[in-house]
Every structure is written in C-alpha cells, then in structure tokens.
Amino acid sequence: MRPFKRILESDAVRAGLCWLGALYIRFVHATSRWSAVGGEVPRALWHERRAFILCFWHGRLLMIPYCWNARRPIRTLTSDHRDGRLIARTTAHLGIPTLVGSSSRGGASALRAMVRSLAQGESIGITPDGPRGPRMRATAGIVKLARLSGAPIVPVGYSTGRRRVLDTWDRFFVALPFSRGAFVWGDAIEVEPGADSHAIERARQAVETSLNAVTAEADRICGVEPVAPAPPRSERSG
C-alpha cells in the first residue's frame, strides 16, 4: 500500500488523474441525454448580467460544470486540502477557475475574495455542506456571503439514470455514461443586507430545503432512489 500511496502523492500522477477526470466528465455529458427544469431562473440573472451564488451539494459536484453558461464568468470555492486541490485542477480543465478557502471555517480572506468577485460580476459556486459535512446540511457561511455581497443564492441539483453512489461522507454521486440526465434549478434566495441572526437561520434553512428539493426532483426525473441527507446536527449530538 505504501508504494501505491507514494505514487498518488506524485504531482505528475495527480495532474494526469485530474486530466482523466475532466475527460470522463466530458464523456458522460456527451453520451447522455440532458434536460433542464427551472432554467429560466439562471437565464434571467445571466440576461441581467447579475452575478449570483450557485449552490449545490458536495456529493453532486461532478457534472455541475455543464449546468453553467460558459459565456458567464464563475469561480468555485474549494478547500485547501488534497481533495480540494484535485477538484480545482479538474475543474480548471473544464474552464472553471477556483478560489481556495472556506466560507464558514475561519475563511475570512476567502470570504473577502468572494465578495470582490461578485462585485466585479463574477459568480461564485459553493457546496454549502463541504468540505466535510454533514451531508446535505447547509452551513450559514453561504448566507453570510449573500448578505455581505447582495448577490442572490441559486440552488441547482442534477441526477442521472445510471450512476454509482460511493460510500463516502457525502455519498458522492458518480454519473455513468449513456444515460438520461437532468439539471433542476430552484428559485433565487435573496438575503437582506441587515439580516440578523434569526433571518440568517431562516435563509440557511431555505437554502437547505430548496437544495434538497431540487436534488430529489432530479433523482425522481431520472428514476433513481434519492440520497437521504445526514441527520441534522441537533440529532447527531443528541
């Protein structure tokens, strides 16, 4: 196992794996039939050239680059650990640059960078349950970003009829080629600049509820069993 682990730590090997990962994502997209529900929501914001916060669950990030209008600028937030760096290198092959940091775990510099990007018309993609969960439970970081920037939050989920769900904390969804796929968008969620702690919690719950709803609807459209969210934090600690 140690020699194999040393091989994986090679920068050249990691670069090759990221290139292969991007190639696989392109292959899945090209060989599958895709539909979109609620696509008028992002189209209206793109038409207004208004930047927004794109949110999706960590377990569903594989095909997310293909929900996006390539003519509109976006960056995704990734963590500064091994998995985050691999994700960043993979999405770079698909034309999506990244910001490194955390929206909720002491990531003040990342938060400032995201606010600047949004002010300059560049949308930001965030997994509000990343980088370590609990699965499909939103943290308040994304809501605080919306409050500071004035940008709306737009949820999106995807599914495919052929898939593998990995036994990871996020139940990572691996879309398989030659399938039926669907992207489902939720309504934009606005956060007032003066939102207090109660309003932030209501918005956090709205993000979580909407994101779980669009993800479950994508699964329903594709005829697969939904992935259940992890228990809420209160239940986990109880």
pLDDT greater than 70 at residue 149: yes
* Angle 144-237-146 from CA coordinates, rounded to 5°: 10
pLDDT of residue 8: 53
Q: Residue 183 region, left (φ>0) first, then alpha (ψ -120 to 50), else beta?
A: beta
Mean pLDDT within 24-38: 98
The whole-angstrom separation of Cα 131 and Cα 199 is 24
- Residue ranges and CATH numbers for the domains of the chain are 2-226 (3.40.1130)
pLDDT greater than 80 at residue 182: yes
| 19 phi, psi to nearest 5 deg | -65, -45
Element at 39 (helix H, strand E): none
102 — pLDDT class (breaks 50, 70, 90): low
What percent of the chain is predicted at pLDDT more than 70?
Answer: 90
pLDDT of residue 1: 46
pLDDT greater than 70 at residue 100: yes
| Coil, strand or helix at 186 | coil
Contact 183, 42 (CB under 8 A): no
DSSP assignment, residue 63?
A: T
Q: Which two tokens stand for residue 82?
A: 């091994």
pLDDT of residue 236: 52
84 — pLDDT class (breaks 50, 70, 90): confident
Contact 216, 210 (CB under 8 A): no
Q: Residue 150 region, left (φ>0) first, then alpha (ψ -120 to 50), else beta?
A: left
pLDDT greater than 50 at residue 65: yes
Angle between helix 11-31 and helix 82-93 axes, rounded to 10 deg: 50
pLDDT of residue 4: 45
Summarised one tens digit per residue, pLDDT across range 10-28 is 777 878 989 999 999 999 9
| Coil, strand or helix at 123 | strand
pLDDT greater than 60 at residue 2: no
| Coil, strand or helix at 96 | coil
SS3 string, 153-175, reads EEEEEEEECCEEECCCCCCCEEE
Residue 186: C-alpha distances to residues 1, 39, 235 (Å):
44, 9, 27
Other CB atoms within 10 A of residue 178 CB: 12
Mean pLDDT within 63-91: 88
Residue 10: C-alpha distances to residues 3, 4, 14 (Å):
11, 10, 6
pLDDT of residue 237: 46
Mean pLDDT within 130-151: 94
pLDDT greater than 90 at residue 119: yes
Q: Which two tokens stand for residue 206?
A: 């709205």
pLDDT greater than 70 at residue 129: yes
What percent of the chain is predicted at pLDDT more than 90?
Answer: 75
Summarised one tens digit per residue, pLDDT across range 190-237 is 999 999 999 999 999 999 999 999 999 999 999 999 999 999 866 554
